[in-house]
């Protein structure tokens, strides 16, 4: 697993308490080639909470004295919170829901890129941010899910822009947006995710295989779990 990375590589998973994040941690812990995997979430030490901007910087600072990371995966994201569901119509739009969605899907991951990109190893290193195919502007044929779509589209632009900057100083790095597909998780449960979704372990395995095949020339791209390049 992740044979393109140096033997005894170091990995970091942000959002490790979620279904997909936990699957990434489990798989990486099982790999004899992975020297260490660190999982961060709201209750971890250090803790990271996108509602608290300082916690992102503090978490990165706490890890700065440790090994540099060859793989950083941000597996956070929100589609609904139980009380609110994705907006189907313009009439459903409201500030609180849009702010919460953008904080989780756009602002928080942007701060992850800001504070954790400097922790990437100087040799081959990959930073993957979980996005979503519904964030593709070119592929939007059904409408609806306003905040979620827009927050992921904005995240994609941030990733594309950050990849250009990071490549100037870390030429062996890969920064990519990654679509996990429908996974059987709390996020997808209201949308028949337990029926049409794949197990998180299978999804994480697929995504690691995709990441393993990427080169610095692929940095700034938007990839599906099957390796296909998705339209912005």
Order the strands of the 71-74 sheet from edge to edge: 34-40, 9-14, 71-74, 125-130, 173-179, 222-224
And the tokens for 176?
């990519």
pLDDT of residue 93: 93
CA 155 centroid distance within chain: 10
Cβ within 8 Å of residue 101, ≥6 positions away: 78, 147, 148, 151
Does 187 have pLDDT greater than 60? no
pLDDT of residue 85: 87
Interval 224-232 mean pLDDT: 95
Mean pLDDT score across all residues of the chain = 93
Instruction: Work out the number of other CB atoms within 10 angstroms of the CB of residue 167.
Output: 17
User: What's 19's DSSP letter?
Assistant: H
Domain positions in the chain are 9-224
The proportion of the chain whose per-residue pLDDT surpasses 90, expressed as a percent, equals 86
pLDDT of residue 194: 56
> What are residue 119's phi and psi, to 5 degrees?
-90, 0
And the tokens for 151?
């927050």
The string of pLDDT tens digits covering residues 79-119 is 867 778 888 999 999 999 999 999 999 999 999 999 999 99
* Residue of higher predicted confidence among 139 and 82: 139
Identify whether the C-beta of residue 157 lies closer than 8 Å to the C-beta of residue 151: no
Torsion, Cα of 66, 76, 130, 113 (10° steps): -50
- For helices 53-63 and 108-116, the axis angle rounded to 10 degrees is 30
And the tokens for 45?
């030490």
CATH 3.20.190.10 correct for 9-224: no
CA dist 25 and 12 (Å) reads: 8
Confidence band, pLDDT 50/70/90 cuts, at residue 175: very high
Does 191 have pLDDT greater than 60? no
Does 126 have pLDDT greater than 80? yes
pLDDT of residue 189: 59
CA dist 232 and 10 (Å) reads: 30
And the tokens for 46?
């250090």
pTM above 0.95, yes or no: no
pLDDT of residue 1: 80
Q: Which helix (H) or strand (E) holds 226?
A: none
Does 192 have pLDDT greater than 60? no
């Amino acid at each position: 697993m992740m044979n393109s990375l140096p033997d005894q590589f170091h990995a970091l998973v942000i959002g490790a308490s979620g279904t997909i994040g936990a699957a990434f941690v489990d798989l990486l812990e099982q790999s004899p080639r992975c020297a260490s995997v660190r999982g961060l979430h709201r209750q971890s030490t250090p803790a990271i909470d996108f509602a608290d901007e300082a916690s992102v910087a503090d978490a990165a600072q706490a890890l700065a004295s440790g090994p540099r990371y060859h793989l950083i995966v941000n597996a956070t994201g929100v589609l609904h919170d139980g009380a609110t569901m994705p907006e189907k119509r313009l009439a459903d739009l409201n500030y609180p829901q849009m702010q919460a969605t953008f904080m989780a899907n756009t602002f928080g991951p942007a701060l992850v890129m800001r504070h954790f990109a400097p922790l990437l190893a100087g040799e081959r290193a990959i930073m993957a941010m979980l996005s979503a195919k519904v964030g593709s502007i070119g592929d939007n044929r059904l409408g609806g899910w306003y905040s979620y779509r827009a927050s992921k589209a904005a995240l994609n632009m941030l990733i594309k822009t950050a990849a250009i900057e990071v490549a100037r100083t870390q030429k062996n790095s890969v920064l990519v947006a990654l679509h996990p597909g429908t996974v059987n998780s709390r996020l997808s449960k209201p949308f028949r995710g337990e029926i049409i979704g794949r197990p998180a372990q299978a999804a994480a395995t697929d995504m690691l295989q995709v990441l393993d095949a990427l080169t610095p020339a692929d940095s700034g791209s938007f990839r599906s779990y099957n390796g296909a390049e998705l339209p912005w």
